[in-house]
A and B are shown apart, each in its own frame.
Chain A
Amino acid sequence: MKRYLLSTMILVVILSMFLSASVLASNGPLVLATNNAPEGKSMAKALEEFGKLKNIEVEVVEAPYANLFEKELLDLSKGTGLYDIILLDDPWFTQFAENDWLTELTTYFLEKKEAGLSADFIDKSQAICRYPYAKGLLYAVPAVGNAQMFFYRKDLFEKYNMFAAPATWEEAYEVMLKIKENEDGVFGYVLRGQQGNPVVAQFMPIFWSFNAKMFNEDKTEVWIDTPEALNALNFFIELKEISPPGAESFNAQQLATYMLQGKAATTINWPAFVPTFEDPKQSKIVGKIAYAPIPSAVAVGASEIGHWLAAIPAGSKNKDMAFEFIHWATSAEKQKELALKWGNPPTRKSVFQDPELLAMSEFRHYPVLLQAISNSKPRPRISNWNEVENTFGIHLSKAVAGQVSPKEALVAAQKEVEKLMEKAGYIK
Chain B
Amino acid sequence: MSDSSPDNTPNGVSRTLLAEASGADSAIPQNIRSLMNFLRTFVPFKQMDDGPLATLLEKSSIEFFPADAPIIGPEDGAPEKFYIVKQGYIVGERDSYRHANELPTFDIGPGACFPVAALLGERPTRTLHKAQEDTFCITCSKEHFSRMLAVCPVFRDFCLRGVSSLLDQVNRQIQAQAQSTLGEDYSLNTPLSQFIERQAVHCEPTLSIRKAVRIMDERGVGSMVVTDANRKPIGIFTLRDLRRFIADPGADLDAPISSRMNADPISLSPDATAFEAALIMAKHHFAHVLIAENDKLLGVVSERDLFSLQRVNLVHIARTLANAPSVDALAALQSDVARLAETMIAHGASAEQLNHIVTLLNDYSTHQVIQLIIKEQGDPGVPFSWITFGSAGRREQTLLTDQDNGIIFELEDSRLWESARQRLLPLASRINAALDQCGFTLCKGNIMAGNPKLCLSAQEWEQRFNGFIDAATPQNVLNSCIFFDLRTQWGDATLASRMFAPIRRRIQQHTLFQRMLATAALEHRPPLGLFKGFVTRKEHGLEGVDLKKQGLTPFVDAARVLSLAHGVEASNTIYRLRQLSEANVLETRDARAWEEAFDFIQLLRLRHHLHCKREGKKLTNLVAPNALNDLDQRILKEACRQAQRLQRKLAWSYQL
Partners in one complex: no
